Chains A and B, each alone.
Chain A
Amino acid sequence: MTAHTETTHDKASTDRIEKRVVLQAPRSRVWRAIANVEEFGAWFNARFEGEFTEGATVRGRITQPGYEHIELELQLVRIEPERYFAYRWHPGAIDPGVDYSAEPTTLVEFTLEDVDAGTAVTIVESGFDKIPLTRRAEAFRLNDRGWDAESKNLERYVA
C-alpha cells in the first residue's frame, strides 16, 4: 500500500474529475476487478443483475448498510479488454421516487496501463456541468448527511 492516489481535477472546472492510482497487481487482475460484474460490485459495494457487455444497461443496488435503497443503472459504453472500460450513469441518483432517465448522464472511464510497480488506473468522470444544478445541490446535501456512517465504513476497508 505504498502507492498513492492523485486527484487532478482542474480547480476552475466543475465539469470533470480525474484520478490516477497505481495498483500493485497485474493488469489482468485489475481488469477483472473492473470488468467483471461481480468483482466490480465487491469493491464498489453494489450488487448488479446482468453482465457487463458493451451496449448493455446493467441495474444494481448499493449493498452498504443504510444505503440499500439506492439503485444504480450503468449504461456500458465501451469495453476494450484489459485497457479501457466506460459507462454512463446518473450521478447522485439517490431518490427512488425520482425518475432520472430523462436527465443527462456523466461518463465514467477506467483506463489501464502497465507501469513498473504494477498497473496504473486512470478514472475520469466528466459531464457534471450538464447535470441540473438543483440535482447537484440535492446530491451534495444528502451526501453530506451520510458522511459519518460512510467514513466509518471506509476505515474498515483501509485499516
Chain B
Amino acid sequence: MSRSRGTAAVNVSEAAPMFAALGDATRLKLLGRLSVDGPLSITRLSEGTKVTRQAIARHLYVLGDAGLLRHARRGREQVWSLDLKRLEKARQYVDQVAAQWDAAAERLRAYVEDR
C-alpha cells in the first residue's frame, strides 16, 4: 500500500486463500486443463500424469475451497469445472494497483498544474 488508491473499491476478503491455492504448479496445470477440456472427472484428470488420483483429488479440493472450482455429480463420478466468476478475482490485484496509479497520476496532475 505504498500508493493511494483510486475509485475502484473491491471487496475481496476471500481473495487470500485463492492466491495461495494458485501458488502450486500442479494446481495451475489442473486449472489449465479444466479451462480447455472441463468439466472433467478425477479419473480423466489423472490420466497421463504421474500424480496419483488421491493427490489430484486433494489439489482439486484446495482449488474448490478457494472458490476456483466447482464440482457436480455425474452418475457415479464427480466432475470438476472452473468457477469463472471467482477466477476473475485473480485479476483484481492488478486492477487495484492500476487504481492506485490513477490516484497518484491525479495527484501529480494537481501538483504540476495548480501551482
Which residue numbers of A lie inside 8 Å of B, CB to CB? Answer: 1, 3, 5, 7, 9, 11, 13-17, 19, 21, 23-25, 29-30, 33-34, 39, 42-46, 62, 64, 67, 70, 72, 89, 91-94, 121, 123, 125, 128, 132-134, 136-144, 146-147, 150-151, 153-154, 157-158
What residues of B have a CB within 8 angstroms of the CB of A21 in the complex? 105, 108-109
Closest A residue by C-beta to B14: A141
Please list 28 pairs of residues, one from A and one from B, whose beta carbons are closer than 8 Å in the complex, sorted by A's number.
A5-B102, A5-B106, A9-B98, A13-B94, A14-B94, A16-B94, A17-B98, A23-B108, A24-B113, A42-B111, A43-B108, A43-B111, A44-B3, A89-B2, A134-B19, A134-B20, A138-B16, A140-B16, A140-B92, A140-B93, A143-B5, A146-B5, A151-B7, A154-B4, A154-B5, A154-B6, A154-B103, A157-B107
Total contacts A-B at CB 8 Å:
145
A151 touches B110 (CB 8 A): no
Say yes or no: A143-B94 contact (C-beta < 8 A), given A43-B107, A44-B107, A133-B22: no
A33 touches B10 (CB 8 A): no
- What sequence of 0s and 1s flags, for each residue 77-115 of chain B, a beta carbon within 8 Å of any chain A beta carbon? 000000000000011111111101111111111111100
Selected contact of B108 from candidates A121, A140, A141, CB within 8 Å: A121
Which residue numbers of B lie inside 8 Å of A, CB to CB? Answer: 1-7, 9-13, 15-16, 18-20, 22-23, 90-98, 100-113
Selected contact of B13 from candidates A1, A17, A141, CB within 8 Å: A141
Query: How far, in Å, is A7 (CB) from chain B's closest CB?
Result: 5
B110 touches A157 (CB 8 A): yes
Say yes or no: A133-B19 contact (C-beta < 8 A), given A11-B91, A21-B105, A150-B4: yes
State in angstroms the CA–CA spacing of A17 and B99 once bound together. 10
Selected contact of B11 from candidates A16, A67, A144, CB within 8 Å: A144
B97 touches A141 (CB 8 A): no
What residues of A have a CB within 8 angstroms of the CB of B12 in the complex? 140-141, 144
What residues of B have a CB within 8 angstroms of the CB of A11 in the complex? 91
What residues of A have a CB within 8 angstroms of the CB of B95 in the complex? 9
A141 touches B16 (CB 8 A): yes
Query: How far, in Å, is B96 (CB) from chain A's closest CB?
Result: 6
A19 touches B102 (CB 8 A): yes
What residues of A have a CB within 8 angstroms of the CB of B3 in the complex? 44
B2 touches A125 (CB 8 A): no
State in angstroms the CA–CA spacing of A29 and B90 once bound together. 38
Given A19-B102, A25-B113; 7 other pairs, CB 8 A cutoff: A45-B4, A62-B2, A144-B12, A151-B7, A154-B106, A157-B107, A158-B106
